[in-house]
Structure 1
Amino acid sequence: MSYPSLHNNTFIKALLRQPTAHTPVWLMRQAGRYLPEHRALRARAGSYLDLLRTPDYATEATLQPLRRFNLDAAVVCSDILLLPDAMGLGLYFVNGEGPRFRHPLRDEQAIANLRLPQPHALEHVYLTIAQTRRELGTQVPLIGFAGSPWTLACFMVEGGPPGDFQLIKKMLYRQPALLHSLLRTLAHAVAADLNAQIESGVQAVILVDTWGGALADGMYQHFSLFYMREVLARLHKTHNGQRIPSLIHTRGASPWLNVLADSGADALGLDWTCDLARARQLVGSRVALQGNLDPSVLLADEASIRREVRRVLKSVGPSGIGFGHVFNLGHGISPATSPEAVAVLVDAVHEFSRVAGGVHA
C-alpha cells in the first residue's frame, strides 16, 4: 500500500532529528474519553471493546481529535491488551477497575501453551489502520503502538493492572527462566503485530513500556530493555520506500536514558519526572526526545497551561526547538481533561516553538 507525501510531516522529521518549522505535538490517548464525541461513540458502539473491534468506530475515534485540534499526528484508537486477548487470555473490562483477563498466566503449563496470534485475530486493528490512512489522506502521519513484552507480561501474569507487581516479580525472582520464556514469545508477537501495523499503513511505531520503571536497576536491562531491543531488531525500518521511525516510552526511565539511547529506537518518550535538558546531555544526538508535560497541567487554567508549555520548551534549549523534539504529555491524557485545555496546549506549543526565541521571552 502506498501513500502520497504528507502535507504535515513535522512529526516524522522530528523523530528522525531533521529540522522542522515548529515543534510537533500530539498527545498519548488523544483519541479518548476526555472528548464528549468519543463518549457518545463508545455508547453507540455498546462498549469499549466493541468500539475497538469495529473498524468504522475505531477509525472515527482516531479522527475525532484531529477535527478539534491542530495536531501533528494521529494515533490509532486501539489498546495494548488486544494482543494478549488475541493470544487467548480473554480480555474484559470491569467498571471502575479496568481491564481483566479470564485466563491469566499463573504456571509453567499456561506459559508453555501460549501461542502467537492467528493472522485473523487482530484483523480489525489492521483494517482500522488502513481505513484511517485512507481518510487522513495527506493530512498528518498515523502512529501505531504496542505494549512492551515486559508490560504485557505484567498484565498477563497478574490478570489485570499489576498493582504491587506481586505475582510477576515473584516469577521474576523465583522462576526467571520461565519469565524469560514468556518474554521471548511476547517479543515475537509484538514485533509481528507492529510489522502488520506498518504494512497496514502506520508511519511510526511506539513501544509502550508502562511498567518498566517498576523494575530494579539491572532487572530493567534484563527483563524489559533486552526484549524491546529484540522487538526493534525485527521491525521493518522502511515500507514502500518510506522510513518508519520507532519510539520507546518507558515510564520512569530516567536512570536508563544512556542505555535506552542505544536500543535501536529513533526516539525516547520521557515522563514528567525527567529534565529534558539533562536527558539531552545524556543521549546527545543519538535519538530524538518526546515529552514531557505532566498530564495534570491540563486540569489547570489557561495561563498555567501556557506557562508550563513554555517551561517544557525552554528546557529543551534553543537547539531543540524545531529539531529532534516532539511535544507530548509524560503519559496519557486524563479523562477529566477538558477539550478547551487541549486546544490551549496545542496552540501554545505551535506559537512558542514557531516564533524565533519565543520560549526565552
Structure 2
Amino acid sequence: MDTDPNGLSFPRLKNDCILKAAHGQKTDYVPVWIMRQAGRYLPEFRELRKQHSFFTVCETPELACQVTLMPIKRFDLDASIIFSDILVIPQALGMQVDMTSEGPKFPNPLVDVKQACTVLHWDVDMSKRLDYVYKAITLTRHELAGKCPLVGFSGAPWTLMCYMIEGGGSKTMSKAKKWLYQSPVESEQFLDRLSEKIIDYLLNQIKAGAQMLQLFESNAEYLNRSLFEKFSYPFLTKICQQIKSRSCDMGLPLIPICVFAKGAHYATDLLTKQPQLMNVISLDWTMDPVHVRSQCSSGVCLQGNLDPCALYADPEVVSSLTRDMLDEFGTQSYIANLGHGIYPDGRIESVEAFIDTVHKYSRQKNNSDQLTAIPMNQ
C-alpha cells in the first residue's frame, strides 16, 4: 500500500508511465488514454444507462466507479479518468442542468451580469456539495488496485461560463461573448469567482486521491488571441498556480496538470511557456505537433491528437495514422490521445488498434533510437 501525504492509503501504483511523461521524464513507451473513454461507445455503458440517468451515475460513487473502470477492463490503457461531468460546478452553484439526447440543457440560463451575482450560490461549500465526486475518486483508486493512475478534471472558467449563459451548446457562443464585449470588467470578475470554485473542487479531488488533473477549456475555439489573453489564459494560469501552491501548503502531492484548450491554435506559444504550472498541453486534431514542438519551452509534455473520426476507419488504417502521429510527436514528453472526446459510435476494434499501435510502435522506436545511440566498435 502507498500512503498519500493526506493520510489515505491506496494500493501501490504499478504503472506510472503517464506520470513520468507528464513530468518530462524518460519513458520506455508512450502512454495512452482516450478522452471520454468511459462512455456511450461501450455497450456495457449503454446497458447501464438504460437503468440510470446520466447524473444519477455521476452522483452515485459506486456507479461512477463502475463506469470509470469499464474501459480499463477492456483495454491496456495507461490512465483512468473519473466518470463525471464538467457541469457539476454550475449545478453546485444552484443551476439546473438536464442531460438530454441533444446534450446538456439549462432551463434557466444566465441572462445578465447582475443575475449572475444574485442567483448563484457563491457561498457553496464545494467539499460538501460535490462530495459524491470525491467519494467516487477514493473508491476508484482502491478498485483500480494500482493498475494505472486516476485522472481528475474540471471545466475551465470560460467554458463553464459559455454553458451557463448559452443554456447548452452553441455554434457561435454569441450570448457569452456579448458579455465579454459589453461587460468586460464584470465578466472578468465572474470568471475569477468561477476560478476560485474550480480551485476548491480540484484540491478536493487531489485530497480524495486524484493523481493527475485535466482542465477542459473546450470553448477556446470561439475566442481570438486577444480575448483568450484576457478571458481565458489568466484564469487557467491562476488555477494551476493556486493548485500547486495550495497543494504545498496543505501537504498534498504535487500532481501534474494538463490543459486542453480546444481550438487555441493561436495561443500554443502561451500555453507551452509555463511547464512548471501547465505540465501537459493537449492538442486538438487540427494542430500541427511539429509546429507546436518548435514553440515549446523545455519540459513541456504534449498530448493528443488523433482525429476522433479516424476511429471510424478500419483498424489497419487507424494503426497507420497512429504511427504517423507518433512520428510527428516523438516518443518522449508525449501522451497519446485523441484530439477531442471519442464519439458515441466509435469502433471498438479501432480503439484497440489505436492503443496497441501506440504501445508497440513507440517501444520499437525507443529501442531503435537506443541502438542508434550506441557507438559501434570499429
> TM-score band, normalised by the shorter chain?
over 0.9
User: Which structure 2 residues correspond to residues 296-315 of structure 1 after superposition, within 5 A?
Assistant: 296-315=309-328
Cross-structure match for 1:83: 89
Match of 1:290 in 2: 303
Letter in 2 for 1:343: E
* Conserved 8 A contact 1:352-1:358: no
1:204 aligns with 2:217: no
In structure 2, the residue matched to 1:142 is: 150
Distance 1:301 1:149, change over 3 A: same
Say if 2:33 is the partner of 1:26: yes
Find the residue that maps to 2:305 and give its secondary structure. coil
For the pair 1:228 / 2:239, whether they are aligned, the reply is no
Match of 1:37, SS state, is helix
- State the shift of 1:5 in Å: 3.8
Q: 1:98-109 residue pairs with structure 2 within 5 A?
A: 98-109=103-114
Measure, in 2, the Cα distance between the counterparts of 1:292 and 1:242.
28
| 1:151-230 map, 5 Å | 151-230=159-238
Moved more, 1-10 or 122-131: 1-10
- 1:246 is matched with 257
- Give SS of 2:292's match: helix
Residue aligning to 2:19: 12
Q: Which runs of 5+ in 1 are unaligned?
A: none
Q: 1:260 aligns with which of 244, 256, 271?
A: 271
> Secondary structure at 1:44's aligned position in 2?
coil
CA distance in 2, matches of 1:75, 1:94: 23
Amino acid in the other structure paired with 1:277 = V
Q: How big is the shift at 1:59?
A: 0.4
Q: Is the 8 A contact 2:151 2:211 kept in 1?
A: yes
Q: Which residue of 2 aligns with 1:335?
A: 344
Q: Is the 8 A contact 1:313 1:359 kept in 2?
A: no
Counterpart contact for 1:116–1:189, Cα < 8 Å: no
Query: Which residue identity lines up with residue 274 of structure 1 in the other structure?
Result: M
CA shift, 1:116, in A, is 4.5
> How far apart in 2 are the matches of 1:252 and 1:76?
24
Deviations, residues 315-344 of structure 1 (Å, cap 9, x unaligned): 01xxx31x2000000000000112221111
Secondary structure of 2:67's match? helix
The answer for unaligned runs of 5 or more in structure 2 is: 1-7, 370-378
**Percentage identity across aligned positions?**
36
Instruction: Provide the rounded CA distance (Å) in 1 between the counterparts of 2:309 and 2:24.
Output: 28
Looking at structure 1, the residues matched to 59 and 320 of structure 2 have their Cα atoms a distance apart, in angstroms, of: 40
* Alignment match, 1:35: 42
Q: Secondary structure at the match of 2:216?
A: strand
**In the TM superposition, what is the alpha-carbon distance from 1:70 to its structure 2 partner?**
0.2
SS of 1:190's equivalent in the other structure is: helix
Q: Decide whether aligned partners of structure 1 residues 29 and 314 sit closer, same or farther in structure 2, where only a CA change above 3 A counts.
A: same
Give the CA deviation at 1:121: 1.4
Counterparts in 2 of 1:270-289, with a 5 A limit?
270-289=283-302
1:43 to partner: Cα distance:
1.4
SS of residue paired to 1:292 = strand
Structure 1 residue 344 and structure 2 residue 353: aligned?
Answer: yes
Conserved in 2, the CA contact under 8 Å of 1:98 and 1:161? yes
Q: Which moved more, 1:76-85 or 1:173-182?
A: 173-182
Give me the whole-angstrom Cα distance separating, in 2, the residues matched to 1:332 and 1:21. Answer: 26
Distance 1:84 1:241, change over 3 A: closer
Answer whether contact 1:25 1:346 (CA < 8 A) is retained: yes
The whole-number CA distance in structure 2 between the counterparts of 1:77 and 1:359 is 38
TM-score (norm 1): 0.94
> 2: CA distance between counterparts of 1:124 and 1:258?
37
Aligned equivalent of 2:3: none
- Paired AA for residue 349 in structure 2: E
Task: Give the Cα separation in 1 of the matches to 2:356 and 2:260.
Answer: 24
- The one-letter code sitting in structure 1 at the alignment partner of 2:364 is V
Q: Specify whether residues 65 and 111 from structure 1 end up closer, same or farther in structure 2 by C-alpha distance, changes over 3 A only.
A: same
